[in-house]
Amino acid sequence: MGPEEFCKRTVDAGTITAKKLLTAFSIRPPAFLDGLDDDNYFPLLSLALSRELRKRAKLTKYNTMEDAVHLLHTARNIIVLTGAGISTSLGIPDFRSKGTGLYAQYEHLGLNDPQEIFDINIFKQDPNIFYSVARDILPNTERFSPTHAFIALLQQKGKLLTNYSQNIDNIEAKAGILPEKLVQCHGSFATATCVKCKHQVKGETLFPDIKAGKIPRCKKCAEGRKSAGNSRKRKVNKDGTERKVRRRPGDYDSNSDSEFDLPTSCGVMKPDITFFGEALPDEFSKRLTEIDCKLVDLVIVIGTSLKVAPVSEVVPFLPANIPQIYISRTPVSHVNFDIDLLGDCDIVVSELCRRAGWNLDHEMVPKGQVVDVATVEGYESRHVFTQTYPDPSTPPVSNEASSSGSDGEKANGGDSLKRTRRSAGATVVDKAGK
Ligand SMILES: [Zn+2]
């Protein structure tokens, strides 16, 4: 009936309050609206309605593996959306999502919410919190997964329109995905910027400091400081330590004589990953809304549950008639994909390539690999991938892949934590070695 008529028959007719109607859209009215007039709930209701209306209906003509392969063969402008799931086989933990158990190891930081690690205001107050975690999430591998190789293969075949990645590990670049084909929606460690003077450097110049547990400081700020500092005599105590002198704001604050030790008043360098509270890279929405949405002819979502903005906003934005394939361990319910390919994404893409007659040459795809594809009962468009050779008794992900979604992301995240911690930087052989 459309939103106007719907509102006419509900809130306008006085048959139900906006507050109560919100619950029909699974929205729990926030506490700060408690006790206010019902009008105050209208903006939220409007949001709920538009979200519901934007939800895309599944295209009924795409269901089978053959359909998926056919789409791969015919598509010329594929948007690939990727998340942490495509890097976990390399031992890179999924840090962004809540409830994976990964944050548990940072309890000692005393955060109210683990996302505070990536909160820009907290970073500005105390960069120690981020930097005590940063060394663990530093991209430290030259390797890339078969799934990265699959995206590079799409590019090589002239089929890749854009890879929108949620990942900050910059592994896409290592797999050969061209900068013009890649949008890192949350930024990456590839570059870093001084929070004070905005001086930008290559991200890897920070890595030694990060690995040593130091807070990287801005060299540009330091140069300015140094020339100011040299013109002033330092006052030294009898024991050789520098005496506190009256300071102007932002003055030299170091108690070390080493010129390589940058003073703490110099700006802190921050990797150009997008923190909570920071604007997203401009490139993201511009490219999506002005170019890509007009060209795209196939969407493949890999290794993300699509719950974190902005990637979560990409799919609802694209034309609803464009086919969408979902590759992940567990299905999602908040987006209607046309075909769900469930399992370890490295296994799914290698089987897809095999069926497409494409050669996905990668050292983590075992020689003679055999993958079983089973259609889930009652869901003709949902297929579960299990590697049956080599080592069918302990396939790396058979437990998760075959349980198609019943146990959700928590269990998977916890399991992948155990595995990735044990086998950081390991090959598929280690992956199987539970
Ligand atoms: Zn600076």
The DSSP annotation for 61-91 comes to T--SHHHHHHHHHH-SSEEEEE-GGGTGGGT
Stated as kind and residue range, the H or E segment containing 23 is helix 18-24
Q: Which of 61-70, 100-109, 206-215 has the highest mean pLDDT?
A: 61-70
Q: Are 48 and 22 in contact (CB under 8 A)?
A: yes
**pLDDT grade, residue 228 (50/70/90)?**
low
* Low-confidence winner among 124-128, 256-260, 335-339, 373-377 (lowest mean pLDDT): 256-260
What percentage of the chain reaches a pLDDT higher than 90? 46
Centre of ligand 1 from the C-alpha of residue 263, in Å: 11
Q: For residue range 64-76, what is the model confidence (pLDDT) as tens digits? A: 999 999 999 999 9
Q: Hey, which of 99-108, 309-318, 387-396, 398-407 has the most confident mean pLDDT?
A: 309-318
Structure tokens at 337: 């994909």
Q: What separation in Å is there between the alpha carbon of 218 and the centre of ligand 1?
A: 4
Band of residue 266 on the pLDDT scale cut at 50, 70, 90: confident
Give the confidence band of 405 by pLDDT, cuts at 50, 70, 90. Answer: very low
Convert 317-364 into a string of H (helix), E (strand) and C (coil).
Answer: HCCCCCCEEEEECCCCCCCCCCEEEECCHHHHHHHHHHHHCCCCCCCC
Peptide bond into 208 cis (omega under 30): no
Higher pLDDT, 108 or 262: 108
Q: Which residue has the higher pLDDT, 411 or 241?
A: 241
CA distance 242 to 235: 6
Centroid of ligand 1 to alpha carbon of 193 (angstroms): 8
Question: Is 274 in contact with 281 (CB distance < 8 Å)?
Answer: yes
Edge-first strand order for the sheet with 382-389 is 182-184, 160-165, 78-82, 298-302, 324-328, 339-342, 382-389, 370-375
Interacting residues of 179 by C-beta distance below 8 A, sequence separation 6+: 173
Phi, psi of 422 (to 5 degrees): -75, -30
Per-residue pLDDT, averaged over 362-375, amounts to 94
CA nearest neighbour of 100 among 115, 120, 82: 115
Q: Is 362 one of the catalytic residues?
A: no
Band of pLDDT at residue 394, cut at 50, 70 and 90 = low
Please state which of the ranges 49-58, 177-186, 332-341, 407-416 shows the lowest mean pLDDT: 407-416
Catalytic residue, chosen from 186, 199, 334, 362, is 186
Q: How far is the CA of 106 from the centre of ligand 1 (A)?
A: 29
Q: Where are the beta strands (DSSP E) in 261-309?
A: 269-273, 298-302
Q: Give the lowest-confidence range in 109-118, 335-344, 392-401, 415-424.
A: 415-424
Q: Confidence class of residue 399 from pLDDT cuts 50, 70 and 90?
A: very low
Q: Which ranges in 25-64 belong to alpha helices (H)?
A: 42-54
**Which of 84, 9, 144, 26 shows the shortest CA–CA distance to 304?**
84
Q: How far is the CA of 145 from the centre of ligand 1 (A)?
A: 36
User: Above 50 in pLDDT, residue 253?
Assistant: no
Predicted pLDDT of residue 234: 46
pTM, two decimals, is: 0.71
Find the mean pLDDT for residues 240-257: 42
For the ranges 94-108, 122-136, 394-408, which has the lowest average pLDDT? 394-408
Residue pair 111/129 in contact by the 8 Å Cβ criterion: yes
- Residue 107 predicted with pLDDT over 50: yes
User: Quick check: 328 and 301 in contact, CB under 8 A?
Assistant: yes
Instruction: State the DSSP code for 297.
Output: -
The contacts of residue 142 (CB under 8 Å, 6+ apart) are 174
Q: Computed over its alpha carbons, how large is the radius of gyration of the chain?
A: 25
